[in-house]
Amino acid sequence: FYLNKTFSDLSSDLLVNKVRANMDEARFRHCQGVSITARKLAKLNNYDEDKAALAGFIHDYAKQVANDEFIRVIKDPKNNFNQDLLNWNRAIWHGIVGTYFIKRDLSITDSEILTAIKRHTTGDVEMTTLDKIVFVADYIEPGRSFSGVDEAREVTFSNLDAGVGYELAHTLQFLANNRQKIYPKTLAAYNVWGIKKE
């Protein structure tokens, strides 16, 4: 893994070690898989490969932060988080609130990277190329093995937007099947990227 100096003051080794120390081995391997997939998708879609690889690598940095820590950060007025986040859970928090820990611990200030991480779980109505790359790389990295993942890979590697739509449609289906609450941004994103285009 090569860290382009423009994105953090930390050395590449230190950044990798900090990410490794913040999660278990399986989650770290997932981050490596997302990084590799994000790099491939960046190349295919004419995006900065190093930047995509870094964003993919750190996207789940806060995945295993404790609930009370997330709640403390959301409630701290200095951080300006929407207090509605308290009605959700760590599935939603680790990306949106994760940006706080990524700024604090990894010295990342690039707004495109931080936005892509913020949006990586739910998607959004507006998505940049990097947002899309991290969103779908998370879903199709080589370690993923749910039924339909091969189709998701084919769709995504043939067209990035179609990959975003595929993931949103299938995530919504999965959440409804399990009678889980849909985060409004997930639904709004589906209505933009998930529906059939005429």
Binding site for ligand GDP (CB under 6 A): 60, 63, 91, 95, 120-122, 138, 171, 175, 180-183, 186
Please answer whether residues 110 and 32 qualify as being in contact, where contact means their C-beta atoms are separated by less than 8 angstroms. Answer: no
Which candidate, 91, 78, 96, 28, places its Cα nearest to that of 58? Answer: 28
Of ligand GDP, Fe ion, none, which one does residue 91 interact with (CB within 5 to 8 Å by kind)? ligand GDP
Binding to Fe ion (CB under 5 A): which residues in 140-179? none
Smallest separation (angstroms) from ligand GDP to the CB of 89 = 7
Q: How does 128-152 read in b/e, with b if 16+ C-beta sit within 10 Å? A: ebbbbbbbbbbbbbeebeeeebeeb
Give CA–CA dist 84/87, Å, rounded. Answer: 6
Q: Minimal distance in Å, beta carbon 76 to ligand GDP?
A: 23
Closest residue by Cα to residue 139 from 101, 99, 193: 193
Nearer to Fe ion, 48 or 60 (CB): 60
11 vs 174 by CB, closer to ligand GDP: 174
Residue 68 Cβ, how far from ligand GDP at the closest point, in Å?
19
Candidate ranges 53-61, 106-114, 124-132, 147-155; the one touching Fe ion (CB under 5 A): 53-61
